[in-house]
Amino acid sequence: MSRKIFIFAAMFVMIAALMASCAPQEVIKEVIVTQEVEVEKEVIVEKEVEVEKEVIVTVEVEKEAAAVKDAIIGLYQEPQILNPYIATQTASGEVYSAIIEGLIETDAAGSYYPVLAKEIPTLDNGSVTLENDVLTVTYNLVEDVLWSTGQPFTCDDVLFTWEAVMHPDSGAVSTSNFTNITSVECSDDYTAVVVYEPFFAPYLETFDAILPRHATGAPEDMQKWVYNWNPVGTGPFKMAEWVPGDHITMVKNENFRDYPEMPYLDRVVVRITPSREVGMAMIQTGEIDFLWDLIEGVVPDLEGKEGVVLNITPGLGTERLVLNLSDPAEDATADPVAFPHPLLGDVNVRKGIEAAINKDELNEILLFGAATPGTKEYNIGWPSIGCDIAPSVYDPTVAMAFLDDAGFTDEDGDGVRECNGCMYAEEGTPLRLKLQTTTGNKLREQAEQLLIEYWAEVGVEGYIENVPSSVLFGSWASGAFRKHGQYDILMYTTSGGTDPHSQLNGYFGTDKMPTEANGGSGFNYSRWINPVDAELKAAGLSPDIEERKALYCMTMQAIADELPHIYLYDRAEIHATREGLTGYVPTPWQYQTWDIGTWDWQP
């Protein structure tokens, strides 16, 4: 693999100083670390004038300069944002996890390990106490850790993370792990005492990303922070450059606690590819060294290719259909009972749609039988043990019976059912539904075509309107239609963490519908009223793992009964690397760059 020889010279200066020596517009052109987002572009430029920035200048290298040891990662999705508490794209995490660290994180085996904390707080080591349903967790923080700016990491940053995420105007999308915290106190710079009331079982997953108070902004302005596109962290790498639509460059963080011994690489470049298929060509020619997020169906195309290594491990993710149960004409309603989806609001329609899908055939045709037809939210890990949920049965006759019961029949003989005594739609409304997923994903596009065919066989007309990943997974502030409940059916993969509470409560908790009142927080995009919501909340309050299993299984069964989501197939984690790249360990529990500090090249 050929590698260019070059070096970056970095100048760290205040924007005010730049403005004193250059025209304002020239300064803004030089600062290319911030991704331009159309809806907030003007505000971002304004923030660039207010905060310290890092300006990267590319310098021609003399012949005697040492070669840079780098790795080039191919992503077919461009991150919209790199703030872990606003971002909803997996692709975002693949970038920011090389920069941002937490107190406790999860390894490839699904076990917790300390990062910015000295040890894992437990009842046994005295760092955790539980009394009268009040959980107190004491984190002893690693000392002498520096942010990439050179400022010290302290307990105050832990406190600020909680303050920022829980601020009602922050727009943070992931708050489930913080909701029960009543206080965070710093007895000194390296001791954080966190109190949860009531008890919160997955407490170890709360602070998996720490925000720097000095390099962000006011919590109520989180959606506009420059940090969102130029994050500051304590990890092995730091941001150097972001050229929208082309690449993101990260370089060694010279303030990393294990520097200069680690990281082993000098530079990581994330190349944005037009599609997964283009990335497959690039990994074979050596233009990229790591190809993210492969699918089961392409394994035969890369297996045995010279210089390419396939890394395959069972995955957490499930490709699914997310069905909107609320009226898409309403903006982010919290009351789907008063404002039901005219077509999907009736559970019999949802059951008819699932019964019409031949999941086995979809698996065989598109995935070469490498996947497993989906049945429930967790297919591996402890939440799945003992939770036996019957798979759906493909039967067009049953599907048509459900649709008949829902009051959708084809009276005019045009092949499409229309409302004839249906529950919510006006009489004569055709059963026509919009299906959407991300552009540039061939597998999903093929799956969409099969779904449209299956549904047509039972009188449901589907049509496709795909959008870029950054649009589908956009933030509340950007007006993303998923967040605001303005869609019919979405198709994508999502997966939870080691502890299932954040995933199950975030996606299926009744109080987790994104609304104006909560600033778009939560992932209950279906706007489903969970009939066992009390039991779901109780699972997050119990220290008894067996009790938690049973309670989480109740929600998974309720999902199977009421179908806010339809599970298509369970995914494997498949990623490709160039031969010679060492140190990478694939994981279903974390982003694939979780261990990027140990990546290296064989001599």
Burial 93-126 (b: 16+ CB within 10 A, else e): bbbbbbbbbbbbbbebebebebbbbeebbeeeee
- 79: cis peptide before it, omega within 30°? no
pLDDT at 596: 98
What SS3 class is residue 185? Answer: strand
Query: Residue 291: is its pLDDT beyond 80?
Result: yes
Question: Is 311 in contact with 586 (CB distance < 8 Å)?
Answer: yes
- Amino acid making up residue 153: F
How distant, in Å, are the alpha carbons of 162, 168, 265, 464, 487 from that of 504? 21, 22, 37, 28, 22
% of residues, the chain, pLDDT over 90: 77
Query: Residue 51: is its pLDDT beyond 70?
Result: no
The C-alpha atoms of residue 429 and residue 420 are separated, in whole angstroms, by 8
The pLDDT tens digits of the residues spanning 527-569 come to: 999 999 999 999 988 887 889 999 999 999 999 999 999 999 9
Residue with more model confidence, 345 or 60: 345
What SS3 class is residue 404? Answer: helix
Phi, psi dihedral angles at 490 (to 5 degrees):
-115, 155
Q: What is the mean pLDDT of residues 318-332?
A: 97
Residue whose tokens read 């609001």: 345
Q: What is the mean pLDDT of residues 449-465?
A: 98
Residue with more model confidence, 297 or 327: 327
**Strand ranges, E, within 31-103:** 53-59, 70-75
3-state secondary structure 481-505: CCCCCCCCEEEEEECCCCCCHHHHH
Q: How sure is the predictor about 369, in pLDDT bands with cuts at 50, 70 and 90?
A: confident
The pLDDT tens digits of the residues spanning 16-40 come to: 333 333 333 322 222 233 232 222 2
Question: Is 288 in contact with 279 (CB distance < 8 Å)?
Answer: yes
The C-alpha atoms of residue 483 and residue 86 are separated, in whole angstroms, by 12
> By C-alpha distance, which of 279, 330, 354 is closest to 564?
354
Q: For the residues of 122-138, what is the DSSP string, one character each?
A: -TTTTSEEEETTEEEEE
Q: What is the mean pLDDT of residues 84-103?
A: 96
CA angle 266, 267, 272 (to 5 degrees): 165
Q: What is the mean pLDDT of residues 485-511?
A: 94
Query: Residue 384: is its pLDDT beyond 50?
Result: yes
Q: What is the mean pLDDT of the chain?
A: 88
The C-alpha atoms of residue 356 and residue 350 are separated, in whole angstroms, by 10
Q: How sure is the predictor about 424, in pLDDT bands with cuts at 50, 70 and 90?
A: very high
Residue with more model confidence, 16 or 111: 111
HSE at residue 52, side-chain half, CA atoms within 13 A, is 11
Sequence-separated (6 or more) residues with CB below 8 Å from residue 9: 57, 59
Q: Is the dihedral of CA 540, 480, 450, 421 positive or negative?
A: positive
The C-alpha atoms of residue 112 and residue 104 are separated, in whole angstroms, by 7
Q: How sure is the predictor about 61, in pLDDT bands with cuts at 50, 70 and 90?
A: very low
For the chain, the distance separating the N- and C-terminal CA atoms, rounded to the nearest angstrom, is 13
The C-alpha atoms of residue 24 and residue 16 are separated, in whole angstroms, by 10
The C-alpha atoms of residue 332 and residue 481 are separated, in whole angstroms, by 9
**In order of start, what are the domains of the chain with their CATH numbers?**
1-65 (no CATH), 104-215 (3.90.76.10), 315-572 (3.10.105.10)
Which residues are paired to 464 by β-bridges?
435
What SS3 class is residue 512? Answer: helix
Q: How sure is the predictor about 66, in pLDDT bands with cuts at 50, 70 and 90?
A: low
Please tell me what DSSP assigns to residue 303.
T
The C-alpha atoms of residue 523 and residue 508 are separated, in whole angstroms, by 8
Question: Is 258 in contact with 274 (CB distance < 8 Å)?
Answer: no
**Strand ranges, E, within 76-202:** 104-106, 112-114, 128-131, 134-140, 181-188, 191-196
Residue with more model confidence, 108 or 224: 224
Question: Is 324 in contact with 514 (CB distance < 8 Å)?
Answer: no
> Is the pTM above the cut of 0.75?
no
Q: How sure is the predictor about 151, in pLDDT bands with cuts at 50, 70 and 90?
A: very high
Phi, psi dihedral angles at 138 (to 5 degrees):
-105, 120
Structure tokens at 16: 């005010």
pLDDT at 22: 36
The pLDDT tens digits of the residues spanning 218-262 come to: 999 999 999 999 999 999 999 999 999 999 999 999 999 999 999
Phi, psi dihedral angles at 68 (to 5 degrees):
-85, 130
pLDDT at 77: 94
Question: Is 296 in contact with 572 (CB distance < 8 Å)?
Answer: yes
What SS3 class is residue 43? Answer: helix
